[in-house]
Amino acid sequence: MEYLDNLNKEQKEAVMHIDGPCLVVAGAGSGKTKVLTTRIAHLINQGIYSSHILAITFTNKAAKEMKERVGKLVSNSYAFVGTFHSFGLRIIKENYAEMGLSKNFTIIDSDDVITIIKKIMKELGMNPKEIAPSYIRNRISFIKNEMLNENEITRYFLSDVEKKAAEVYFAYEKTLRKNNVIDFDDLLKLPVELFLKNKDILNLYQEKYQYILVDEYQDTNEVQYKLIKLLAGKYRNIFVVGDQNQAIYGFRQANYKNILNFEKDYADAKVIVLNQNYRSTTTILNVANSVIKNNIERKEVNLFSELGEGVKVKYLRSNDGLQEANIVVNEIKDLLESGYRKRDIAIFYRTNAQSRVYEEALLKNSLAYKVVGSFYFYKRKEIKDLISYLKLIANHDDDVSLERVINEPKRGIGLKTIEGINGKATRENTSMFEAITSGKELEFKKMIEELTKASLDVSLTELIDLVLDKSGMKDELTKMHTLEADIRLENLMEFRSITENYQNITGSVNLQDFLDEVSLIADVTEHREDDDEITLMTFHSAKGLEFKVVFMVGMEEGIMPHINSFDEENGIEEERRLCYVGITRAKERLYITNAKLRMLYGKDMLNPPSRFIGEIDPKYIESNVMEEKKVLPDELYNDTNEEYKSGDIVNHLTFGRGVVVAVEERFVSVAFNKRYGVKKFLKNYKGLKKGK
């Protein structure tokens, strides 16, 4: 049994456990996948038929890795190694008739689900503009994953919008059964219902799968928990691996209490703690331990390492968010000069919108990067839509931008209508905008004309707010009540930071100049795909990964921990677990950064440092708080507007000498030389001074 030779004492104990319930509390980087796969091989070598073994994990990637590792340890294994959903599908295929399905049932994807929901809403007289179909889809998913019965739905779904979601749910279920189709959530719900209803069939599966292994047990939800408990009910050979300290998916209905309650479910359970970490230095682990010990609901896992003490964690506090991004990039340059590769380095942030300033700083320094789990900021659909609106406002002849947003968000203008407008514009040798004369498209045209007129009298940030409101983009995302919609709305709000920064630095409110500036940054051709890239990702996306160097940025109250967690039960504890996950991704070096002043979503924020920083023992930290004098946005402006009149000579920091040609209540227009033309500025901008 050579496969046991490279295991530590606790890993070996877990692998060699055969019968009865067993909980393996596997700390970060402690080799849990090795334990799972080696245990499967050991069970087979102990004479247990491989077909009696069921190993379940959460992702196809994890299942593939486990299969490959088992294949290297034993030949001809018939153990089922797969995801919860792939296992559920197998049960449904083997028992479709018992579930009221015919053999040729099909599984519908999320797009099909939305289509069916829209159809039902129409039949029930519900307006998709008042209740987003995606919100109803999420509530249906919640009902199925929590396995709520009709009485429970009636008891819990009390608001008007929830009652309507429940009404759609009952009609949706009838539609699915009538059409012999199931959705993704049914892959787990239907097998559990089958086992509860038919004890003989449950007994068959209990006999078939006498040894059950579950990975990432802390991430199981109600339906997954019930499925496993039913299957393990007879032989009780259930072996679960997880770490409650890494339970970060509460927003997906994962219930971390499943792992805490394992010993209540199985009073005779053997508990093994894997606390030797094979990834990080002792200092990094001490930092992780000192943070997570502040959580009340947890299993005790004090990680230790034999990889050496390593260097102290660097804490960098900047004056503002832009300086923070530049300092991070400068640190990265130093690391690259000292021998690290770009692929060794990752930047973690709490929300996707935070990536923008780092993307721009990396682009300016020609450092290749990739954004994991999201598009590059300027490539995100909602940002491209917003920029297209701005381009169309600035230039009515921009047919490309018009085609992109004329029906975004949906306003009943179909492809045939758009093709008709295009054809008319071609025949009349004019722009599509000019060719619009009737229908819903005329309403769209009038809206753009109103926004164009408004753009002459408002600041750039105020124009963004008008576009988001008048177009319906903000309203549509707000009504969806989904995590994805919230992220997209955050990104749109972050675009306001771009306009604010542009106005702060230049004083200019010229839309075309701003678009020219944005196009230079937004040109995705500047970002080249490269095998050696710095990785940008959210803390959530980082789970399961590791890097030699990790930067945890924006570590401030209201950002990390996120402001939403302040009012949620156990919200701070989940944020602390998220912080713990971030810390334990670092192998050699960890940086923690924040700023005194930050512009996020177009607003200046003065957030105190994250409470998690204060929980770290100071002896593990090397602090560097920036004291450099920084000109704050307020210092660039006078308290009152400067008085100008037509004909005044002025000087601008960037554009040089000019002549005032128009004066309004808040703005002043100045004619410069031919290169710059006429520009409009905020009247209280200090960078514009009267001269001779």
Q: Which positions are catalytic?
A: 32-33, 215-216, 246, 585
Task: At 225, list the tokens.
Answer: 């928990």
10 Å Cβ neighbour count for 554?
Answer: 26
Going by C-alpha positions, the residue among 432, 451, 446 that lies closest to residue 386 is 451
Helices (H), 17-53: 32-45
The edge-to-edge listing of strands for the beta sheet with 80-83 is 80-83, 53-57, 211-214, 238-242, 22-26, 270-274
The C-alpha atoms of residue 313 and residue 190 are separated, in whole angstroms, by 49
- Preceding amide of 409 cis, omega within 30: yes
Q: What are phi and psi of 19, to 5 degrees?
A: -105, 150
Would you tell me the crossing angle of helices 381-394 and 473-480 to the nearest 10 degrees?
Answer: 160
Number of H helices, E strands in the chain: 27, 23
Contact (CB, 8 A) for 267 and 21: no
E strands present in 215-335: 238-242, 270-274, 276-277, 304-305, 313-320
Neighbours of 122 (CB within 10 A): 11
DSSP 272-299: EEE-EESSS-HHHHHHHHHHHTT-SS--
Q: Could you give the residue ranges of the DSSP H alpha helices within 456-589? A: 460-471, 473-480, 483-506, 511-522, 571-583
Residues paired with 604 in a beta bridge: 599
Phi, psi angles (nearest 5°) of residue 586: -80, 135
Q: Specify whether the CB–CB gap between 553 and 593 falls below 8 A.
A: yes
Whether the CB-CB separation of 145 and 222 falls below 8 Å is answered with: yes
